[in-house]
Structure formats: structure tokens, C-alpha cells
Amino acid sequence: MLPQSFTERMQGLLESEYEEFLASFEHEKYQALRLNPLKKDDMSVITEKVKQTFQLQPVPWAENGYYYTKEDQPGKHPWHEAGLYYIQEPSAMAPVTLLSPQPGERILDLCAAPGGKSTQIASAMEGEGLLVTNEIHPARAKILSENVERMGIRNACVLNETPEHLADIFEEYFDRILVDAPCSGEGMFRKNEVACEEWSPENVQLCADRQDGILECAARMLVPGGRLVYSTCTFAVSEDEDTVHWLLEQEPELELSPLDLWEGAQPGMNGEPVIRLFPHKIKGEGHFAALFHKKNSSSFQEISEEENGCRGKKRGPAGNPGKGTSDRDLGEGFLQWEEQVSVPFPRERMMIRDHLVYLLPEGFHPGWRLRYLRTGLLLGEQKKQRFEPSQAAAMALSPSRYSCCFSMKRSDERVIRYLKGETVSLTEEETSRESWPKNGWILVCVDGWPLGWAKYAGAVLKNKYYPGWRWQ
């Protein structure tokens, strides 16, 4: 049952449309997934395969976004574990479309968990540039990091920091910033009863106050000419339009950018150039989004290569990016594994910390004093004379770039056995045709997409799938 204070406010807000809005809560929720282009050079291959399996219809405002039906079960599927797609509420895909991330940029997702929007940003960045994705709550930050790894993202740092601390370090540093702010969650009422039970007018105001502080920090971190998107999944004017007005008053260098409305999308309640998505107008739970750009630049969409490298004294954290890592430091075990990989690992972007080997994103400075869950791509761990590649490395690799791969069809019962952490037996034919090195690292795949690692031992593959991801 919807809170009375909420229904009274919405009735005043929507007037003649209120009954239609109320009726939408009786409809089944819309479900969607977003295909992951980082998993294949040719997106048509992924699209065609998934369309053959699930009943998909495109989400109008999201590239690679598709609705699926109630009969489909994409969440409990090997392709989901392979990072082929991310399951995401359809209207929640809209803010990143407005952000319009580009390869090679420095981008911040400030309130990022569980990771839907961060992974959407990363897809558009194509592995180039630096993505900083942050979550203040430790448990949610862990979930964020896992989703970043599953989607095979190589150029992301996952942080567990306060906005205030980030603003002190990254002043005028990011080309684009997304603030999908913590809110009262009114757009989640239909699919989440807990959100409905926890709602109150007092919590709405508390959220609005918190959003002001977060946005103030975000504005400090945006470069002149940069793009900032503010979004919520609530319908409250105090958290939406009022927060936008407050930010414009506090930060005169920011201005709203005009927006093209999708079918079903509406402008602000007083005609503001923002986007409102209501559940009775679109196939989704509802969202709010506003696009700002920071003035003092001829174009916030066109940033020269020279400017992107250095924007003056306030371009962000100073410091030496590091001297890199030598082959001697990496060790024989790593070098042997690297021989199987046809992807370059630039030594100037590699770092070893506590025997863990990382490939750092472009522009990353190891000296930044931050709470990290992930610094770029964790390649693996040094163990005496051995090297053990990570689950993250498996998810970021393409089978065409690794010499020792074993792929099974999704209908093969061994796929599920592998996902449960069990040993995989090989047929006589499979054993005879493979020329893998004994005890070598094998990239296990489903339908040509990586799932994880195994060790080759004659007629079996010893399971090295990450224990935290195993199916029960």
C-alpha cells in the first residue's frame, strides 16, 4: 500500500494524470538487460546470439538496451556469468545516455553501486581513458567491484570514499561526472516493498539535503567545459527540480543544457530543461535526470588532446605516475603466462603491490591516497616462482587473444559443473586434439566467452573458478 502522504503529493503534482499513474502500480514491472560490447569486437554477433535465446525488444533511450519477457531467465544463465550482459531497470539506463561518455576521457561515477551505470559508461569508453567509480558504503562497494570485474572492464578504479575527500584530491579533474544520487526511491515502490515501507516525508528532505552536499563536491571536480549529469529514481520535486535550482544558485559556472525528449519523456514540472520518466508514460519504473555543463569553454563536447593531458594548475592530483615494473620484478611465472596472451601489457602502466600484479589505467597515479577496491585490472598474484592469473583477467580477455582456451556449448552439462566449482572431465577426443602444456592455465569459455580459469591435468581440468562467484 502506497503511503498516504506520497499519494496526496503525487495527486497534486500530476493532477489529471494521477489516476493513470496510480494504475501503473498494478501492472507488471518491465525488465531489461544491456548487452556488453566489451565482450566482442562485432556487437552484431552478441546481439544475434542473445536475440535467438531471449525475446528482446529495444529500450528507446539506451544503446544495446533491451526489454526481456517474464518467461526469459537471463539472470540464471551462463552468459550472465560470462558478462555478456548486465540486467538493469530500463529507465535507469537514461542518465548515461545523457552523459554521453567518450573513449579516452576521465570520467567519475560518484554514487556507483551496484554498478549498472558504471558498466554502461565503461562500454562507451571502449577501454580507453580513466573511469573512477565510487561507492561510500563498503558492502555495496564490494558488489560494485564484482560487477566491474564480471563485465571485463580494464580501465576502472573502484573506490570506497566520501565525496568530500574525492573533491579535495580531484579538483577540476574529470571531463564527465555522473551523480545518480541516493534518494527516497519512489521509483522503486512497484518492485521493492521495502522502499515503500521505509519512505517518509522526513526521509525525502534528508535525501534532498544529502544530495546538495554531493553535488557541491561533484561541481568542484568537473573541468571547465565538462559535463555533469544528476539523476534520481524519485518523483519528489524537492529532490529533483529544487535540487537542480539549488545547484545553479550555488555554482554560477554551471548551466543546464537543453535536452531532446524521448517518446514518453516529459520536461520538468515547471517546464525546466530536464527529463522526467513516469511509469504511466514509459516502459519503466521512472527516473529523473538533468544535464549541466561547466562554462568558460567554447565547447564542453570538444576537448583537445593537449587540454586533456594538462589543464593548468588545477587539473587535478599532482605526482609521478610511477616508473613502471621490470620483467625481473614480474618474475618468470608471469612472463610464461604472458607468452600465451596476445595483448600488450605496457610495463610503464604495471604495478606490483603485496605480490598482486596490476595493469593500471591511463593517467592513473599510484600515489593517490584513496581507499581502493580495484586499481585498473588485477592480472594475478605472484606465488613464489609461480603466477596465478585472476578472475578479473579471465573476464577481460578475449579467447582470440589467449592461446589455451577450452569452450563448451551452453547446453553442455559441464558448464554448470564448472560454475559450481567442480572438476571438468575431458573426452578422449578433446584430450587428444589439445596441445596444452601440462599444468598450464586454461581459459574456460561458454559459447566462446570466458568464464574463468582451470589447470590442465591430462583428462581433466582442475577448477580454478573464483570461489565467491560459484553457483550453489
Catalytic residues: 233
Identity at 258, one-letter amino acid code: P
Kindly state the cell numbers that stand for 362: 591511463
CA distance 411 to 83: 18
Kindly state the cell numbers that stand for 276: 522526467
Nearest CA among 80, 97, 191 for reference residue 146: 80
Cα four-point dihedral sign 136, 142, 148, 153? positive
Kindly state the cell numbers that stand for 256: 543546464
Kindly list the distances between the CA atom of residue 177 and the CA atoms of 97, 105, 270, in Å, as whole numbers in the listed order: 13, 11, 25
Pairing outcome for strands 254-256 and 287-294: antiparallel
Kindly state the cell numbers that stand for 417: 559443473
Phi, psi (deg, nearest 5) at residue 217: -65, -40
Helix (H, G, I), strand (E, B) or coil at 131: strand
Length of the chain counted residue by residue: 472
Kindly state the cell numbers that stand for 32: 531489461
Q: Give the helix ranges, DSSP H, for 27-137.
A: 43-53, 78-81, 94-99, 116-125
Kindly state the cell numbers that stand for 464: 580454478
Phi, psi (deg, nearest 5) at residue 356: -95, 135
Give yes or no for a contact between 367 and 353, defined as CB atoms under 8 angstroms apart: no
Kindly list the distances between the CA atom of residue 41 and the CA atoms of 44, 59, 107, 148, 450, in Å, as whole numbers in the listed order: 9, 22, 23, 19, 15
The 10 Å CB-count burial string (b at 16+, else e) for 347-369 is: eebbbbeeeebbbbbebbeeebe
The burial of 157, by beta-carbon neighbours within 10 Å (0-12 exposed, 13-18 middle, 19 or more buried), is given as buried
Cα four-point dihedral sign 78, 80, 84, 90? positive
Nearest CA among 53, 85, 89, 87 for reference residue 71: 53
**Given phi > 0 = left and psi -120 to 50 = alpha, else beta, which region is 76?**
beta
